Every structure is written in structure tokens, then in C-alpha cells.
Amino acid sequence: MNLQVLESQFWSLCLQGVALGFIYVLISLGYTMVYGVLRLINFANSEVFMVGTFATVVAQVGILQNETNSQSLHGFRLIYTLTFALIFSMLVCGFLGVLVELVAYRRLRSLGAKPLGFLISAIAVSIVLLETIRIVTYSRPQTSPRLLDKWSFGEFAGANFRIDTVMVIISGIVIFFTLDRFVTKTRLGKAIRAVSMSEEISKLMGINLNRVVSLTFFIGGLTTGAAAFFYTTVYETTQFNVGFNLGLAAFTTAVLGGIGNLRGAFYGGMFLGVLEQFASAILGSQWKSVTVFTVLVLVLLLKPNGIFGEAVQQTRT
């Protein structure tokens, strides 16, 4: 056990944990939105994320013609490039989410298939996406160019406020609260919540169920695409199997916070991000998963609906 690391790195670990947590939150929204509406765990979401990371690289390198080893960009060009890559990744993941729903779930839904059918269908789509990208990329990691020079706002109490860390946190907050307001305040958001409460009654109220389900997959894809963009911008690399660990962490995030519940995903992500950092630093990285999943089991033992499962039940999507 290494407690000495906390003397100089406590706030650094907190900051990095929060930044990582926001990436988890954004991916977990893809799981939680879909679960909220369909009571279905969309396992393919981890591969939608993976495709998003490649979409980011394609936007930066293929479409905007930046070399892999190009110099960092500045000013308008930088903002334009990052915004374009973010929107591109979000749209690719959004439409991929809709496509996954159409191909893998819609027919099963209309036939009233059992949950196991959905699960296998989700895993099948997941493998198809994973292996397709693996073949196309020759299993090789793809590098994203360092377009954003990683300058720092300064170091406070040992925590380095680097531009990419700050960008992830601020953007994560903006995206999360925009989505939260969309779901709670807008007509479409209310339709999503209505379907999540009762499919049958929503239909009687004139809500187009298929449209709401597609919209939910689209929104889940958008946030997952945003996470993919931030992941690629911070870590500057991706690989065909990147979705596995990140997807598992995001799924854990959703369950910790109370799956199907937006604000729960937010708290779950923050909790998991910070917990992972401290477990790795104090106990050693080899104990990270043991710690995280022990905590998950304990939480579920005490609160089967997740930490915030009941307290914020009203915000269920």
C-alpha cells in the first residue's frame, strides 16, 4: 500500500479521476438512455464508441487532411478542426446507434422476443463491428495527431490543469446538462420519459413508439460519439478493442449510479473515475479492477438499484 503518493498527488488524482469520469458518464448515457426506454442493455454501445474513436481520426486525418505527425493547430483552424471532429464523431455514432436499433432490435421488438434474444443480437452486432474494424485496420492502433497543444493553465496543489483535461470536464458538464434539460423540459424529451414509464399508455397518448426509440438510440449515440472524440483527443490513439474496457467501465458507471437514470450515471461516473485513480495509486494498478468490482458488488448488495437509484428516480429517462 502506497499512501505516500497522496502527499503530493492527491488533487492530481482527483482531477484526473473527474476527467476520466466524464468520459465514462458520456458513454454510460448510451447505455442508460436505452435501458430507460426499452429495459434493454445495448451491449453494442461499446463498439459504437470504438467506431466513434475511428470516426474522430478519420475526420482529423482523412477529411481535414492533417498529417499524423503534423504540428499542433492554433486559433480558428484549431477550433474548426476540433468542432468538426466532435460533430462528425457524434453524428456517426448517432446514426450508427439508430442503425443498430433498426437491424438488431426493431424486428425482435415487434415480434415480442424474449430478453435473451436481444442480448444475443446485441453481442452479435458488437462482434460484427469489432471484427470489421479489426480487419479494416489490420489490428493496428491508429494514432490521432496532436492537434491540440497540451499547454497548462497552471498547477494548483499538485493538480495540473491541462487544456485537454479542462476541456473534457467543461464539455462534459455542458453536454450532460443540455441532455438533462432536453429530457426534462422538451416535448421530445417528455415523450422519451413517457415511453420509459409505460409503453402502452404512451401509445394511447399518440406517441410514435418507433420514433421515440430511434431518437433514444440517436441521442445515446451522440453522447457516446462525444465521449469517443474526447477519448481520442486526450489519449491520441485508438484500436479495434478499445471499446471493451471503456464499455465495461461505462456500463459499471450506469449500474453504480442506477441504470436508466441520467443523474445517476453522472454520479456513478464521477465516483468510478476517482475510485479507479485512488485504487491504482494506493493499492497498485493490478488491484484497480478488484477494488472497483468489489465496491460495485457491495453497492448492489446495499442498494440494488444503484447508489442513486431511488433518490433521483423521478429523473428516469
Partner 1 sequence: MNKKIQRSLAVVSAATLLFGVSAVSSAGAAQKTVYLAFQAPLTGANALTGQDELTAAKFALSEYNATNPSVKVELVIADDQGLAEVAAVVAPGIAANKKVIGLIGPAFSGATQASLPAYKATGLPMISMSATRVSLTDKKAPVNGFPIFKRVVANDKFQGPALARYAIKGVSSPSVYLVDDKTAYGKGLADYTKPSIVRDAKIAGSDSVPENTSDYTSVVAKVKASGANVVIYCGYAPDAAKFVKALRDGGYTGIFAAGDGVLKATFPNNAGNTAAEGARLTAADVPFEDVATAAQMVAYTKLTGIKVPGSYVTSTYNATNIFLTCIKQGVTTRPGMQNCITAGSFKGIAGDTIKFDRYGDIIGGAAVGAFTIKAGKIVYLGVA
**Is the separation of the CB atoms in 1 and 20 below 8 Å?**
no
Which residues inside 26-55 make contact with partner 1, applying CB under 8 A?
A: 43, 46
Tell whether residue 150 is a contact of partner 1 (CB under 8 A).
yes
Tell whether residue 106 is a contact of partner 1 (CB under 8 A).
no
Tell whether residue 69 is a contact of partner 1 (CB under 8 A).
yes
Tell whether residue 7 is a contact of partner 1 (CB under 8 A).
yes
| Dihedral sign, Cα of residue 256, residue 258, residue 96, residue 218 | negative
Which residue among 95, 241, 300, 303 contacts partner 1 (CB under 8 A)? Answer: 241
Which residues inside 280-309 make contact with partner 1, applying CB under 8 A?
A: 280-281, 284-286, 288-289
Which residue among 84, 95, 182, 244 contacts partner 1 (CB under 8 A)? Answer: 244
Which residue among 50, 179, 220, 236 contacts partner 1 (CB under 8 A)? Answer: 236
Tell whether residue 126 is a contact of partner 1 (CB under 8 A).
yes
- Specify the residue, 8 or 314, whose C-beta has the smaller distance to partner 1: 8
Tell whether residue 131 is a contact of partner 1 (CB under 8 A).
yes
Which residue among 25, 61, 105, 162 contacts partner 1 (CB under 8 A)? Answer: 162
